[in-house]
Amino acid sequence: MTTRAARAAFGAWIVVITAFYYAFPNAHLLTWALLGYSSVAVILLGVRLNKPERRLPWYLLAAGLACFVTGDSLYNFIVWTGHEPRFPGPADVLYLLVYPLVTGAFLLFVRARGGANRAALLDALVPTVGLGLLSWVYWIAPFTRSHELSFLEKAVSIGYPLGDVLALAMTLRMLTSPGRRPRALTAVTIAMVGLLISDIFYGQSQLNSAWSLGGPVDLGWIVFYAVMGWTALMPSMRDLTAKLPQQLGAELGTSRIVWMATAALVAPAILYVEWMNGHQVEELRGGVVDAPVIAAAAALMFLLVLARVNGLADSQRRARARERALHQAAAELFAATTVEQAATAVRDGITTMMPADSSFKFTLSCDADVPHQPGLRLVTAAEVPPGLVTGDFQHFLYATMPLPGDGRVAAGLLAGSGPVLRELMPSVEAFLGQIEVVMQRIGLSREVSRRDSEAYFRTLIQNASDVILIVDGDDRITYASPSADTVLGHPDLTGASLESLIALSHHSALHDALAAIRAGRDQAEAADLALLCADGRLLQVECTGRDLREDPTVRGLVLTIRDVTDQRRLEDDLSHLAFHDGLTGLANRVLFRNRLEQSFAVAGRDDATIAVLFVDLDDFKDVNDTLGHAVGDQLLVSVGERIASIIGVADTAARMGGDEFAILIEQSQDASRAELMAAEIVRALAVPVEVSDGIGGTHNVSGAASVGVATNRDAESATELLRHADLALYQAKGDDKGTWQRYRSELHTAMVQRLETRTALHEAIDGEQFAVMYQPIVDLTTRETAGVEALVRWQHPVRGLLGPYHFIEVAEESGAIVEIGRWVLRAALTEFTRMRAGTTLKYVSVNVSARQFRTPGFVDQVRDALEDSGARPEWLLLEITESLLLRDADQVWQDLGELRALGVRIAIDDFGTGYSSLSYLRQMPVDVLKVDKSFIDDILGSEQQRALVDAIVTLARNFDLAVVAEGIEDEGQRAELAAMGCPYGQGFLFSKPVWPHEISARPQPGVMSPAA
């Protein structure tokens, strides 16, 4: 029968018998006896099934339960017969026997698991004293002061709580033992808690004469019976009597500190409660009756805590002493150079680490007949291997270690008291690790010495992978090492000519090497030779030699030949990888730069023309983003193959990184060849490339590229030539993708100006060099100014007032447009709030770049600008481009929705020049369309243009969108637009951009005079 099945059956039995006990009160005598005696039987069964090391504690527990249930049965039988049980009576004797039996069992558990442990004992005694004080004040003392009880009755009544306190103390002692806490111990604790709870309630009911059989108090005793029996069936019950590796002390963790502190507060808490609840009675009695007991308990707990703290301090002192001893021993150990010196250092180190007042014996054998077992072990006398002296000691630290060189095993045995050895074990383990390091060092030293010996040299010759030859004065071989057969395939080379082994092309190098050896000249490097094998293979070898012709044992030249064929092949591969692109196989940036430097110098000497072409794929990022990097890599390989096929072998093609390639055209008469090649590359790469996606599909992707061309005629150095080609490429990509451009000097000037502008822009932002001018937006019918458009100007400190044409594009590229746009928004709202007074102005229109709009927090920027300027949201019209609505549409439309909900209106600037569909217009979150000037210019001369503008105006009106026509320059255009139903317009017909004070001074209605 397994313990699992036994536990299941016992658990079911307890549930059933408990139910019967409470369901049938008249059967209490029988059901209680069945419940108790079955628990006793289960304990005995558990001992038989689990076979613990020590059975006596479990037999004592079974006896205790038997006394308990026998006393209960005797008590219940007297009640069942209709008599009143005597107090004290035979049942009380049985009850009181339970406590010494249970206490004895628990004491045996403690001794079996680890024996004496002062720290654990102190940790258990502090809460025991506190709970014992509670028992005295509220349970024991009332019995002692009772005038109704005889001396014997008082003694028996006091025996119960004293027994409970004793059982509690032993339970706490088991819980405070160091080491792993088995599940069976937790179960025993639950059983004892059940017993104590029922005993407490039983005692209180006895004081109050309110005890009745079959009440809820019985549940605690049922838990005591059942859990004790259940614990005996648990496999972990064996751990309660299994000896554990002990420690000298016990860790004082946070929970244990809280536990002890709470117990220490019991005495003052009782005093306070006694005074609060009964101070008048205590005053009549002349003070707190239990004061001496409370004071004694408080003093005892104080002394126990003080002893515990003293133990911790003592442990700390011993730990520091061990650390100092370990450092001293390690210093002596690492000075040892032989095994014997190391053994002496180990003995001295162990002696240093052992406490001065401790008796010990250390035995170290450097030739022990024992197997090696890694690690340090704590063993008893019975576990010590035969042949090692144990003496009268019972506990030992035992370790073995292989000695270097000859296969011997050293064994160390440290005898002493168990607690001291357990405390020293971590230090000895650390010392053992240092010993291993020293042994390895000694072994390595021996190995080095052994390799220097003559016997080892002979063995090395016989087993070396290098071929060792001895040749005489006629260059004939007199000795060949056995490796000649393995490496060269020649089993016997004695008498052969050395030249017959060397390739004909390397005979000269062989003669030079032999002459250098005979002349006694040092060989700075080994001679590289090609050697013929027996099977016709050609090996690359390195040859070094020494002249030992004067040595009577040699009498010749000793040559060492090493096969370096694989090494040379690897070097060639590494050299190729160092100078070639791993993906396309073309030259890389390093090789291209080296060849360019050489070609530039030669061209300068010969007055020749060389050219550099920079090739950059136009839409490579889109390929990577949409189809993945694997497809992008295939495209790069195909582009590299096409470029290589065009330039041939005379010129150099390289991949500079990413999707950028470079071509070096050498030794031309002029730039025409470079220009023709650039055009051919553009045409070749314009043809789509078919690539596989790796999952069975194919895609035609564009490899179209832009090319920049530069020659050395315009450059002073190779670096400048590369920079010129890069500028030309930049121009090609800026003008129109899929084209080529040749470097012109003005490109450099434009680039320098662009960089200067970029730098000056950041300074302009910090120096607030920007200003805002305003162009009126006019009602085309009444000619009243309905609003103004804010237009930024740069008050450059050198170049004067600059319009957007001079800096907006650079600001977009550099990101400065975000700060500029933020400043314009705030300035325009502030000035508009001041200028609108006394005018017909309804709103100010502010342009917002796509980059600025996508800046996180843009909506909050608008909200803050409105709040700081005091402007109302309906006074602001933000102009955006169509392209903004076509990228990141979800986020952009969400932000536009927030702005419109705020009250800000949205306009599409330059409508008609983007890529949006007119049918898509009804979904756009906008309020105003601004028709681009390019549509207005030909409105009078082109029917198609007029029809297109009319369609836009009509469509906008159907969608409830306002329309503003831009670039109106004559009266005919105004009249035509007004006739179409276009409500608003702006342009030089009404006014050029003007300063804020000119807007305020303009008479209404009328036409403003153009500003200079």
Quick one: which H or E segment has residue 401? strand 395-402
Q: Tell me how many degrees the CA angle 545-550-552 measures, rounded to the nearest 5.
A: 105
| pLDDT tens by residue, 132-155 | 666 676 666 666 666 677 777 777
| Distance of alpha carbon 920 from alpha carbon 150, whole angstroms | 106
Inform me whether the pLDDT recorded for 713 exceeds 70.
yes
- pLDDT: which is higher, 452 or 647: 647
Query: In this predicted structure, what is the pLDDT of residue 249?
Result: 46
Inform me whether the pLDDT recorded for 1006 exceeds 50.
no
Q: Tell me how many degrees the CA angle 53-59-60 measures, rounded to the nearest 5.
A: 115
- pLDDT: which is higher, 946 or 250: 946
Inform me whether the pLDDT recorded for 119 exceeds 70.
no
Which of 71-85, 446-460, 973-987 is least confident?
446-460
**What are the residues facing 709 on neighbouring strands?**
613, 742
Query: In this predicted structure, what is the pLDDT of residue 251?
Result: 54
User: Could you give the residue ranges of the DSSP H alpha helices within 532-691?
Assistant: 565-579, 589-606, 620-627, 629-647, 672-686
| Distance of alpha carbon 224 from alpha carbon 99, whole angstroms | 13
Query: In this predicted structure, what is the pLDDT of residue 778?
Result: 95
Inform me whether the pLDDT recorded for 343 exceeds 80.
yes
Q: Which residue has the tokens 């949409």?
A: 626
| pLDDT tens by residue, 555-568 | 888 888 888 888 88
Query: In this predicted structure, what is the pLDDT of residue 1007?
Result: 43
Query: In this predicted structure, what is the pLDDT of residue 458?
Result: 55
| pLDDT tens by residue, 180-237 | 778 888 888 898 888 888 877 776 666 566 566 677 888 888 898 899 889 989 988 8
Query: In this predicted structure, what is the pLDDT of residue 774?
Result: 94
Which of 167-181, 348-362, 443-457, 980-994 is least confident?
443-457
* Contact predicate 722/596, CB 8 Å: yes
| Distance of alpha carbon 499 from alpha carbon 474, whole angstroms | 11
Quick one: which H or E segment has residue 966? strand 962-966
| Distance of alpha carbon 677 from alpha carbon 691, whole angstroms | 25
Question: Binning pLDDT at 50, 70 and 90, where does residue 274 land?
Answer: low
| pLDDT tens by residue, 861-920 | 999 999 999 999 999 999 998 777 765 567 788 888 999 999 999 999 888 665 455 555
CA dihedral (189, 194, 199, 200) positive or negative: positive
| Distance of alpha carbon 1011 from alpha carbon 1002, whole angstroms | 12
Q: Mean per-residue pLDDT for 42-69?
A: 90
- pLDDT: which is higher, 363 or 771: 771
Inform me whether the pLDDT recorded for 1009 exceeds 50.
no
Which of 40-54, 154-168, 636-650 is least confident?
154-168
Query: In this predicted structure, what is the pLDDT of residue 245?
Result: 53
| pLDDT tens by residue, 857-878 | 999 999 999 999 999 999 999 9
**Per the structure block, which two tokens stand in for 327?**
């450092």
For 941, counting Cβ atoms within 10 Å of its Cβ (0-12 exposed, 13-18 middle, 19+ buried), the class is exposed
Which of 538-542, 622-626, 931-935 is least confident?
622-626
* Contact predicate 408/367, CB 8 Å: yes
Nearest alpha-carbon partner for 718 in 581, 595, 848: 595
| pLDDT tens by residue, 226-269 | 998 899 899 888 888 877 654 444 455 666 666 666 766 766 77
Query: In this predicted structure, what is the pLDDT of residue 248?
Result: 43
- pLDDT: which is higher, 590 or 244: 590
Rounded to 5 degrees, what are φ and ψ at 288?
-75, 120
| pLDDT tens by residue, 416-470 | 887 777 777 877 888 778 788 877 777 777 766 655 544 545 555 555 568 888 9
Highest-confidence segment of 293-297, 346-350, 833-837, 992-996: 992-996
Inform me whether the pLDDT recorded for 829 exceeds 90.
yes
**Average pLDDT of the chain, as a whole number:** 81
Which of 446-450, 804-808, 843-847, 852-856 is least confident?
446-450
- pLDDT: which is higher, 653 or 423: 653
Inform me whether the pLDDT recorded for 1008 exceeds 50.
no
Inform me whether the pLDDT recorded for 325 exceeds 80.
no
* Contact predicate 397/376, CB 8 Å: yes
43: Cβ contacts below 8 Å, ≥ 6 apart: 58, 61, 62, 65, 228, 229, 232
Inform me whether the pLDDT recorded for 961 exceeds 80.
yes
Q: Mean per-residue pLDDT for 74-96?
A: 80
Instruction: Please state, for a pLDDT cut of 70, what percent of the chain lies above it.
Output: 83
- Chain centre distance of CA 536: 57
| Distance of alpha carbon 348 from alpha carbon 431, whole angstroms | 12
Question: Binning pLDDT at 50, 70 and 90, where does residue 680 land?
Answer: very high
- pLDDT: which is higher, 432 or 594: 594
Distances (CA, A) of 398 to 325, 372, 394, 401, 418: 20, 11, 12, 11, 13
